[in-house]
Structure 1
Amino acid sequence: MESLKINSDAEMQQLGNTLGKFAQAHDLLLLTGDLGAGKTTLTKGIAKTLEIRRPVKSPTFTIVREYQEGLMPLFHMDMYRLEDGDLSSIDLPAYLASPGLVVIEWPEFIMNDLPTEYLKLKIKRLDNSWDSTEREIEIEAQGQRNQEWWQEVSQNLK
């Protein structure tokens, strides 16, 4: 499994920028990691590249935040509150069928309801200090499109 080291919030946003640059409609990005690991920071970088001007906030309490005004729609979801896997409050198939990028935080609670092809980034803190920004990211690319997406991203990280 491929991994990547991130040393700052700026690097996390740069990773997001690069993911956004090579994202295509119907892509699915799954983000796992502890609270405060950098999932929303990464998504902010994606939004910036997609020319979304509204502030990107964590969707923990709303479950889904939609950003329609960019180069392509961004659907930012947080499944943390769906520990029982009850998706009745959102129409996940409609989001996945939409010509936008779907980013899901805490996907482990709904994996059985997701497609088998996705790009998954597992973000791990490298120490226990709350203000530390050092992370290791494990990359899992399922399916040809996602392998190509990650290859483009990894070749273009600065």
Structure 2
Amino acid sequence: MEFIIDSVDNTIELGRKIGSMCKPGDIFCLTGDLGTGKTHITKGIAEGLNVQEYITSPTFNIVNEYHSGRLSLFHFDVYRVSDPDEIYEIGFDEYIFGNGVSVIEWANYIEELIPDQFVHIKLSKLPEKGENLRKVTIKYFGNRYDYLKELSI
């Protein structure tokens, strides 16, 4: 499915709708160039999970944990990961196979570590159509994510 988003607020709103539908163990893999809105959609997912903490990109930590919502949120940023062993050292498997929701920014950097069932959210700039326009393409792998068929903005 594809959505054309015209503002940061609408990017967050799409994430909020996704977050409100999330189930334990869900994995969201975000890809897109710098500045396309990966962290904004993550902020929305956190709001949809009722996470109370302020969401920041874990660029230097690899993962930030948020436990105040209806489900725990594990927010990964693997942009600076140079070796997949770095991910294993922080307990990656325990996070993604646990009962929280995992959001992985720059997931294309660790494709070989992603389980078979996940949601891929690709964000792309559409500068030819306007400075703030983004195309958000959502594709899911696994029947567990059939609930996303109901997603609309």
Q: TM-score, normalised by structure 1?
A: 0.89
Name the CA shift for 1:149/1:59 in 2 (closer, same or farther; >3 Å): farther
**For residue 149 of structure 1, what is the aligned residue in structure 2?**
147
Name the SS for the 2:127 alignment partner.
Answer: coil
Runs of 4 or more consecutive aligned structure 1 residues displaced over 6 Å after TM superposition: none
Name the SS for the 1:110 alignment partner.
Answer: helix
**For residue 12 of structure 1, what is the aligned residue in structure 2?**
11
Deviations 1:49-103 (A, max 9, x none): 2221111001111110000111110000011111433324321110012211000
**For residue 96 of structure 2, what is the aligned residue in structure 1?**
96
Name the SS for the 1:75 alignment partner.
Answer: strand
**For residue 108 of structure 1, what is the aligned residue in structure 2?**
108
Q: CA–CA distance in 1 between the matches of 2:150 and 2:107?
A: 24
* Structure 2 stretches lacking a partner, 5+ long: none
Q: Are the equivalent residues in 2 in contact too, given 1:6–1:134 (CA < 8 A)?
A: yes
Q: CA–CA distance in 2 between the matches of 1:66 and 1:138?
A: 26
Query: Aligned partner of 1:10: which letter?
Result: D
Aligned pairs, number: 152
Q: CA–CA distance in 1 between the matches of 2:120 and 2:38?
A: 11
Name the SS for the 1:109 alignment partner.
Answer: helix
RMSD: 1.8
